[in-house]
């Protein structure tokens, strides 16, 4: 089962790039709210084209490896997912925590020289934390930025084992 990918904006956008950098590298968790608002506006603009209702979906943030999360102090995708759900209010899907785990401490995707290297870097990087079932459910996979799609593709591949009806990968920006 393939997945759909949506990016709310382009990483060349100075404002979004500044917000994401502040969140990921500057400890500015408060920037997750405007990023979540952007994702919510984007998702709502697409909602008539999606084969599911937003409030019926499960939100799965892309996890960090525990060592990276410990170093940063938080998972930026998780707090973006929370802000996204809060911005949707009554249409808010359920945010899962810990369903998908990062089992491989990968090198930064930004340091990979090409798409093939990015895909190899992410190979078998995720696992399911428990025998979760998403059978027949829609999943919204949340991340901050996508470049080659390798991270989201590998996360979606792992989630497919739970037999979801649909996977929609949603990012704030496409680099």
pTM for the whole structure: 0.91
31-80 pLDDT, tens digit per residue, is 999 999 999 999 999 999 999 999 889 999 999 999 999 999 999 999 99
At residue 111, the 3 state secondary structure works out as helix
pLDDT at 1: 57
| CATH match of 4-174 with 3.40.50 | yes
- The token duo for 74 is 């938080």
Distance CA 24, CA 143 (A): 12
At residue 140, the 3 state secondary structure works out as strand
Low-confidence ranges of the chain (pLDDT < 50): none
Tell me the H-state helices in 26-75. 32-46, 66-72
Sign for the CA dihedral angle at 76, 82, 85, 87 comes to negative
Q: What phi, psi does 129 have (nearest 5°)? A: -70, -30
Say if CB 36 and CB 82 are below 8 A apart. yes
């Amino acid at each position: 089962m393939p997945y759909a990918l949506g990016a709310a904006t382009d990483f060349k956008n100075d404002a979004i790039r500044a917000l994401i950098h502040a969140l990921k590298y500057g400890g500015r968790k408060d920037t997750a709210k405007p990023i979540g608002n952007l994702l919510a506006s984007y998702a709502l603009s697409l909602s008539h084209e999606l084969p599911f209702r937003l409030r019926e979906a499960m939100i799965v943030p892309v996890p960090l490896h525990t060592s990276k999360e410990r170093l940063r102090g938080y998972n930026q995708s998780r707090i973006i997912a929370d802000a996204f759900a809060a911005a949707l209010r009554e249409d808010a899907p359920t945010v899962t925590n810990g369903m998908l785990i990062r089992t491989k401490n990968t090198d930064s995707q930004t340091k990979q020289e090409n798409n093939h290297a990015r895909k190899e870097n992410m190979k078998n990087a995720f696992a399911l934390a428990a025998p979760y079932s998403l059978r027949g459910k829609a999943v919204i996979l949340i991340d901050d930025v996508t470049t080659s799609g390798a991270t989201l593709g590998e996360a979606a591949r792992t989630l497919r084992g739970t037999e979801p009806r649909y996977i929609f990968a949603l990012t704030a920006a496409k680099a």
